[in-house]
């Protein structure tokens, strides 16, 4: 991962980590999607988040940043949290890969 990739990944990691100390009700009541703004290299960058409700006891909230590279390609940076039976934790690499 190059320097700019690391900055984008760190930004999306930081956004996911903000929600680790949330109340369960905050996660449960979040809308299906939204956006966030972060700063990378002094430039405001917009990202999105998606909330998946698999059941009352299982929620995934994942965060996505994208940046263009080459002419038509975009690089994705992902991270997220899960709510499982009242416990909030980061998504595993395997869980994150489902959204790539």
| Segments making up each domain of the chain, as ranges | 3-97
Locate 93 and state its tokens: 């690499």
Q: In this structure, are residues 66 and 45 in contact, taking their beta carbons and an 8 Å threshold?
A: no
pTM: 0.88
Q: What is the mean pLDDT of residues 14-36?
A: 95
| Distance of alpha carbon 51 from alpha carbon 71, whole angstroms | 30
- Inform me whether the pLDDT recorded for 53 exceeds 90: yes
- Inform me whether the pLDDT recorded for 1 exceeds 90: no
What is the per-residue pLDDT for 7?
A: 96
Locate 7 and state its tokens: 């900055």
């Amino acid at each position: 991962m190059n320097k700019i990739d690391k900055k984008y990944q760190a930004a999306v990691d930081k956004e996911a980590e903000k929600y680790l100390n949330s109340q369960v009700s905050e996660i449960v009541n979040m809308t299906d999607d939204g956006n966030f703004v972060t700063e990378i290299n002094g430039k405001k960058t917009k990202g999105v988040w998606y909330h998946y409700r698999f059941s009352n006891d299982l929620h995934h909230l994942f965060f996505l940043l994208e940046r263009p590279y080459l002419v038509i390609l975009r690089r994705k940076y992902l991270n997220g949290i899960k709510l499982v039976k009242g416990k909030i934790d980061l998504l595993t690499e395997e869980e994150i890969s489902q959204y790539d």
